[in-house]
Amino acid sequence: MSEITLIAKTNRETGTRATRRLRREGLIPAVVYGHGMDPVSVAVDGPDLRVALNGEAGLNQLIELNADGKNYLVLAKVLQRHPVRGTLQHVDFQITSRDETVVVDVPITVIGDAVEVRHAGGAIDQMVYTITVAARPADIPTNVDVDISHLKPGDIFRIADLVLPAGVGAVSDPETAIAIAHGARAEEVETAGEPVEAAETAAE
């Protein structure tokens, strides 16, 4: 995973009034912590941060934070948003290293066509949309594909069935269902049978 560099201003003022002033200036208040270091209050450029976190890696983007000449390799662990507008209000950056194993959530993407389920008039229900994994920052996948092509009505695809990339391990419960293949529902079968019953009655 490639890294993105962000410039951070240190020694920012804290408090509601100072925080509002920062946001009016297009800056996002943040805190850098981890590796036994006392938390450092910083501010980063809002548009630059949004670009960094809206890329392919999403929240798992590895960021090189340059704070007054000191460089911190970080991940954005906690994002606080405005409850109504949804705008980014604050970020917690956790310090990491390239050789350190971190625990993150990765999106799940369901791919493929469950032909047998479709032909049976059934459907696939996706139960979860992220999986928690442990990996070194460079090994974090942007997403995990779940191929449902082989599923039949009644099948369940669980986390234990995933084939994860090398260096990536699932932390989520292996018995958690990711996708469930349902056959045709009873009412649909009954509805489908009504014309036949009506034809039989007419023939009598």
- pLDDT tens for each residue of 26-53: 889 999 999 988 898 899 999 999 999 9
Q: Could you say which architecture CATH assigns to the domain 104-189?
A: Beta Complex (2.170)
More confident residue, 188 or 73: 73
- Position 68 scores a pLDDT of 81
Q: Which residues of 139-168 are buried (b: 16+ CB within 10 A; e: fewer)?
A: bbbeebebebeebebebebbbeebebeeeb
Write the class of the CATH domain 4-96: mainly beta
**Mean residue pLDDT across the chain:** 87
DSSP, residue by residue, 119-152: HTT-EEEE--SEEEEEE-GGG--S-EEEE-TT--
Average confidence (pLDDT) over 63-90? 89
Distance CA 176, CA 173 (A): 6
Domain with CATH 2.170.120.20 in the chain: 104-189
The pLDDT of residue 186 is above 60 = no
The pLDDT of residue 198 is above 80 = no
Residue-wise pLDDT for 120-176, tens only, equals 999 999 999 999 999 999 899 999 999 999 999 999 999 999 999 999 999 999 999
Q: How far is CA 189 from CA 24, 139, 156, in A?
A: 60, 47, 22
Residues β-bridged to residue 37: 34
Ordered alpha helix ranges (H), 43-185: 46-53, 115-119
